[in-house]
Amino acid sequence: MTDLPRAPETRTTEAHKTEAHKTEAHKTEAHTTEAHNTEAPHTTAPRTPALLRTAEDLHKLRYEGLRAVVMTMGALHEGHATLIRRARELAGPRGQVLVTVFVNPLQFGANEDLDRYPRTLDADLEIAGQAGADAVFAPYTDEVYPGGEPQVRITAGPMGGRLEGATRPGHFDGMLTVVAKLLHLTAPDIALYGQKDAQQLALIKRMVRDLNFPVEIVGVPTVREADGLALSSRNRYLSDAERRTALALSAALFAGRDRLTAQAALHARAQAAPSTRERAQALGALGEARAAADAHAVAQAHTGGPAAVRAAARGVLDDAAKVQPPLVLDYLALVDPSDFTEIADGFTGEAILAVAAKVGTTRLIDNIPLTFGAAV
């Protein structure tokens, strides 16, 4: 992507945004999707990022051009590095890439892993620098919440009570509160978040739109291991056996995706048959194997329909629940990304197939985007 148009300037984060910047920052959703889904080449020169601990240090940090921010809770891995490299590409050589590292206590509920969440600041600085970050803002808790837990918070609304929000009450309120604070403190032109946390990304986009934050939010595709497991800071908690079981999350998502692709191909081939008899024969030839695997779902679902996608994914998860150590499913959902409500049969358009489960004591989430009604 080419740099967003902006006249070169030197400034501090305390400077007000210009009206032209506001217009530029509020890109349409279509532009954001089209412009930011291209993989960035890994040509970033390593840097030695400045470590900032206070808001005062942050406000003194000068820069030219665009500022791109990547917010993290630390324990950085290749997924975070991908976000930072993408930020470097968008900010350009004259811009600034700022990484925040803050383990936010507001988004951890009772009996969650706040105390054992990994703190690896030295390693984080190394990874951030290798990926092209100019500075790392790693504030202490009392710097972010100087008066203790804030009395005024952002509320995530109805979307924040679904899926992750239902399992982790208050999680998204805490997440949005700290994101809002960090957006104010860092004053970025662009903020990047991983699509692995799809519900979080959707809520941040909604908050920015509803509350008129002058920033462009960019989603970056999920980074996976070679075997399909989505990268996560919590993967380090898994034993070898647990990790093998955990592969069922991505396998289930891929099974749902493959079912959708196969049904779309079946539909296209059947539509191309020149007569009713030939069309019936084409349907039989193409659908026999998959129908045998899940005859009920295929019979009940529309061609390429959500029910068949859910059934294919659930079959993988059901099998994983029978192994040792077992996968304990929290939810499998096929949702509209605009509000995270379940989609119905006959739905066309963009959707997200999402899963959450525990393996041992480690809770993992994953998702993939799907398109219903797309031509094959």
Q: Which residues are catalytic?
A: 80
Strands 349-359 and 190-194: unpaired
Contacts of 92 (CB under 8 A, 6+ apart): 3, 65, 66
Q: Is 75 annotated as a binding residue?
A: yes
Is 263 marked as binding a ligand?
A: no
Is 232 among the annotated ligand-binding positions? Answer: yes
Fill in the amino acid letter for 275: S
231 annotated binding-site participant: yes
d(CA 137, CA 104): 14
User: Which residues are within 8 A (CB) of 236 and not within 5 positions of it... i.e. 6 or more apart?
Assistant: 75, 118
79 in a known ligand binding site? yes
Residue 59 labeled ligand binder: no
CA dist 375 to 261, 271, 288, 345, 349, Å?
Answer: 10, 12, 22, 18, 11
Separation of CA 261 from chain center = 23
Q: Please check if 101 is assigned to a binding site.
A: no
Residue in 364, 356, 372, 371 with CA at minimum distance from that of residue 162 = 356
The partner residues of 327 in beta bridges, in order of sequence, read 359
Q: Give φ, ψ of 258 to 5 degrees.
A: -65, -35
The residues that bridge with 365 in the sheet, in sequence order, are 356
77 labelled binding-site residue = yes
Full strand arrangement of the beta sheet holding 349-359: 327-335, 349-359, 362-372
Confirm whether residue 73 is marked as ligand binding: yes
Map residue 67 onto helix, strand or coil: strand
Q: Is 271 annotated as a binding residue?
A: no
Residue 195 is assigned to a ligand binding site: yes
The span from the CA of 195 to the CA of 71, in Å, is 13
End-to-end alpha carbon distance in the chain: 27
Answer for the pair 74, 101: CB distance below 8 angstroms, yes or no. Answer: yes
Q: Is 80 annotated for ligand binding?
A: yes
For residue 210, the one-letter residue type is D
Residue 27 in marked binding region: no
Label residue 211 exposed, middle or buried (CB < 10 Å: 0-12, 13-18, 19+). Answer: exposed
CA distance to 51, 107, 148, 159, 184, per residue, from 151 (Å): 29, 15, 9, 22, 17
Beta bridge partners of 64: 10
Is 196 annotated to bind a ligand? Reply is yes
36 annotated to a ligand binding site: no
Binding-site residue set for beta-alanine: 107
Binding-site residue set for (R)-pantoate: 107, 200
Binding-site residue set for ATP: 73-80, 194-197, 223, 231-234
Binding-site residue set: 73-80, 107, 194-197, 200, 223, 231-234
